[in-house]
Structures are given as C-alpha cells and as structure tokens.
Amino acid sequence: MASWDQIPIDSESAFELARKENLDVRVADDYTLQLDCDDETSVNQFHCYEPRLRAHFGIKEITETKSRHQNTHIYLTLDNPMTVPERIALQAALGSDPTREFLSLKRWLSKDPNPILLFEVKPVLKESN
C-alpha cells in the first residue's frame, strides 16, 4: 500500500494521478457501491453480507473487476439511491479497504464533487486487421 503522503485525497488529484498512470477513474453515482477488496478475507466478507444487502436494500447488478494490483473491485447497483455517507458506511461494512473509505469520507466532508471513486485499468484495445 502507498504511504499516506502518496495517496491523493481530493478527486482532482486522483484524476491527475490517473492520467499520469494511464488509469480510468470510476465515480460512483447515488445508486452505486464501490468495494475495494484487498484480500480474500474482504471478498468473503462481502459474499457473507450480500444476501442481507440484497434483502434490505435491493441489488440490481454486481460486477467484479481486477484492480491494477490484482485485488478485487466489486461494483453494486442498488435498487434505490443512497446518500454518500450511507454508501461509505455500507462499503466499509461490506469489506472495502478502510483507507479508501476514510479518504472517501474526508472528500465528502470537504465537499469534494466526487467523494467515492475507484481507479481501474484501462481496457486493452485490440487492433483490427
């Protein structure tokens, strides 16, 4: 994990880092939870609580991707919108990286326009013949 002084806190810095490292930035909307699961324990925590989340909040779609460090990102589209603090709380409870959720809360408290975001590896485009 990067040291604290290397982690961009505001979304503008995150977008700049993404440009430098050729990454995409996915910004969550009011219907989206973004989990950054750094190990198998975190992924298992999500799968343990998924039925409860589905029963109490409703899930339309779940998508998993691999991060640039080969960890797991899980995107959940909910049936209904939620506030930023509600989504940060659920993400933390479901196993998302605590540092990421701390930074998301810090961005929200600072009135950053994009408090919840994740870096994704850009898809490799195949050349057509």
CATH of the domain at 65: 3.30.70
Judge contact between 99 and 106, C-beta under 8 A. no
Instruction: Provide the pLDDT for residue 5.
Output: 58
Element (H, E) at 75: strand 72-78
> H helices then E strands: how many in the chain?
4, 5
| 9 in a structural domain | no
Instruction: Provide the pLDDT for residue 27.
Output: 96
Query: Cα 38 to the chain's mean position, in Å?
Result: 11
| 112 in a structural domain | yes
| 68 in a structural domain | yes
pTM comes to 0.87
Judge contact between 12 and 107, C-beta under 8 A. no
Per the structure, the complete domain to which residue 91 belongs is given by: 29-119
| 66 in a structural domain | yes
pLDDT digits (tens, 9 = 90+) for 74-129: 999 999 999 999 999 999 999 999 999 999 999 999 999 999 999 998 876 666 65
Instruction: Provide the pLDDT for residue 1.
Output: 47
pLDDT digits (tens, 9 = 90+) for 37-81: 999 999 999 999 999 999 999 999 999 998 888 889 999 999 999
Reply yes or no on whether the pLDDT at 16 is more than 80.
Answer: yes
| 77 in a structural domain | yes
| 102 in a structural domain | yes
Domain tally, the chain = 1
